[in-house]
Amino acid sequence: MRLYEYIVRRMILLIFVLAGVTLVVFYLSHVISNPLYLYLTPKTTQAGIQALIEKYGLNQPLPVQYFKYFIGLFTGDWGYSKLATQPVFTAIAQRFPNTVELAIAAVILTIAVGIPLGIVSGVMNGKWADHASRIFAIVGVSLPVFWLGLLLKILFYYDFNVWGLPNLPSSGAYDTILALSHPAGLSPTITGVPLLDTLISGNWVMFSDSFAHLILPAVTLAFISIGNITRIMRSSMLEVLRQDYITLARSKGLTERIVIYRHALRNAMVPTLTVSGLIFAGLLGGAPITEFIFQWPGIGQLSINGLLSNDLSLVLGYVFLTTIIIVVANLAVDILYAYMDPRVRI
């Protein structure tokens, strides 16, 4: 089946890309700096160093080291993280659901705001509604994420505090103290995603707490993605509205509403939805900066901490995961594209 072949081909490409990405970082990390530092403590003796070298195979030729590492990635052995005092794989796996939670929230927000804004902008081309959304969108993509996050924190956390307004929590995914004191805490962990778990088990106190914690980081992330989506939706709409078949639809006497919703949107949505898929994948990569600012316990924050403490295996593991997510997302998006546009057949 052609679809099957296509997927297999892409998977092979994925492995190739993974190899390339990890190779670059691995090579750099072993040639430019010395991975030995990972395992050194101030108390390590000369003999101890030698032992370490033996233990971690650091005296083997570089390609061999890389090869072993690469295979290890596929079998779940991503090395050990000094920072997390856990195997890298476990550390990442534990925190991944939190990132998923944030990513889903941000994507929902992005689509809910970005797509209608883009449609309005495209349909009302040239009028003030169009100009307003264009300005909004371009400012959105020009903002540094960390600055936006800090700004929102200042306003909604510190200032609200001072002004006596209920403030939105600014760190963590949930209030740990509350979790500890609440009878049910955060259990049971069904999906691992705090928001969903508390929802499923009817734990309203923790649910609303999780939700409140989600607001600021999700808005931060969404703000910038909304800018992107709006621009793509708008240009897609403009392109479609220029087409001949729209003229025909109007000449049939259809109401403008039907022309836009049935004829134009069906065509204009395609690139937008595919981009949304890519944005979601990108967000799954953890939006490291946002997680860092709001101390959101996801894989992004983990990778930044790893970066700052020179914990290379952590960073590498993170890069590996992110690459897989992004490449697979690209594949899914391409397939979705073919599904949505009957002219494209794989």
Partner 1 sequence: MRKGMDETMPAPPPKRVSPMVAEVRYALHLLTLNKLVLAGIGLAVGLTLLAIIGPFFVPANTPNAINFQLGSQSELGNPNIGWAHPLGVDTYGRDTLSLIILALGLDMGAAGLVVGIGLVVGVLLGVTAGYIGGKIGEAIMRITDIFLALPLFIWALAIAAVLTRSLNSLIIALATVSWPGYTRIIRGQVLVEKGKPYVEGLQAVGVARWRIMLRHVVPNSIFPLLVQATLDIGGVILTLAALTFLGVGLTPLVPELGQMVSNGTTYIQIDPALITIPGLFIVAISLSFNLVGDGLRDVLDPRLRR
Partner 2 sequence: MGQATEEVLSKKDNQARPVLDIKGLMVDFTTYAGVVKALDGVILDVKKGEALGLVGESGCGKSVTAATIEGLLPDNAHVVGGEVLLGEDDLLKKSKSDMRKIRVNDVAIVFQDPMTFLNPVLTIGTQLTEVIDMEEGIVDKEALKVLEEEGKPKPPTTGGNASGKPWKPTRSLRKKALRRLATQALSKVGLPDPDRIFDEYPHELSGGMRQRCMIAMAIARNPVLFIADEITTALDVTMQAQILDLLRALRRDFESSILIITHDLGVVASICDKVSVMYAGSVVETADIREIFANPLHPYTQGLLKAVPKVMGEKELDSIPGSVPDLIYPPAGCRFHPRCQYAWDLCAKEKPPHIETAPRHWVECHLYKEMKTSG
**Interface residues with partner 2 (CB under 8 A)?**
243-245, 247-255, 258, 262-263, 266-267, 270, 340-343
Q: Check residue 147 for interaction with partner 1 (CB under 8 A).
A: yes
Binding partner of residue 239 among partner 1, partner 2, none, CB cut-off 5 to 8 Å per kind:
partner 1
Q: Check residue 139 for interaction with partner 1 (CB under 8 A).
A: yes
Rounded least distance, CB 336 to partner 2, Å: 14
Binding partner of residue 139 among partner 1, partner 2, none, CB cut-off 5 to 8 Å per kind:
partner 1
Rounded least distance, CB 145 to partner 1, Å: 7
Rounded least distance, CB 189 to partner 1, Å: 28
CA-based torsion, 94, 100, 106, 109: positive or negative: negative
> Quick one: which of 118, 271, 285, 297 contacts partner 1 (CB under 8 A)?
285
- Among 2-10, 99-107, 151-159, 253-261, the segment contacting partner 1 (CB under 8 A): 151-159
Q: Check residue 146 for interaction with partner 1 (CB under 8 A).
A: yes
Three-class secondary structure assignment of the chain: CHHHHHHHHHHHHHHHHHHHHHHHHHHHHHHCCCCHHHHCCCCCCHHHHHHHHHHCCCCCCHHHHHHHHHHHHHCCCCCEECCCCEEHHHHHHHHHHHHHHHHHHHHHHHHHHHHHHHHHHHHCCCCHHHHHHHHHHHHHHHCCHHHHHHHHHHHHHHHHHHHCCCCCCCCCCCCHHHHHHCCCCCCCCCCCCHHHHHHHCCCHHHHHHHHHHHHHHHHHHHHHHHHHHHHHHHHHHHHHHCCHHHHHHHHCCCCHHHHHHHHHHHHHHHHHHHHHHHHHHHHHCCCHHHHHHCCCCCHHHHHHHHHHCCCHHHHHHHHHHHHHHHHHHHHHHHHHHHHHCCCCCC
> Quick one: which of 3, 9, 33, 191 contacts partner 1 (CB under 8 A)?
33
For partner 1, give the closer residue by CB, 53 or 141. Answer: 141
For partner 1, give the closer residue by CB, 96 or 207. Answer: 96
Binding string to partner 1 for residues 293 to 322, with x set by CB under 8 A, is what?
----------xx-xxx-x-x--xx--x--x
Rounded least distance, CB 272 to partner 1, Å: 18
For binding to partner 1 (CB under 8 A), which residues are involved? 13, 16-17, 20-21, 24-25, 28-29, 32-33, 131, 134-135, 138-139, 141-147, 150-151, 153-154, 158, 239, 242, 282, 285, 288-289, 292, 303-304, 306-308, 310, 312, 315-316, 319, 322-323, 326-327
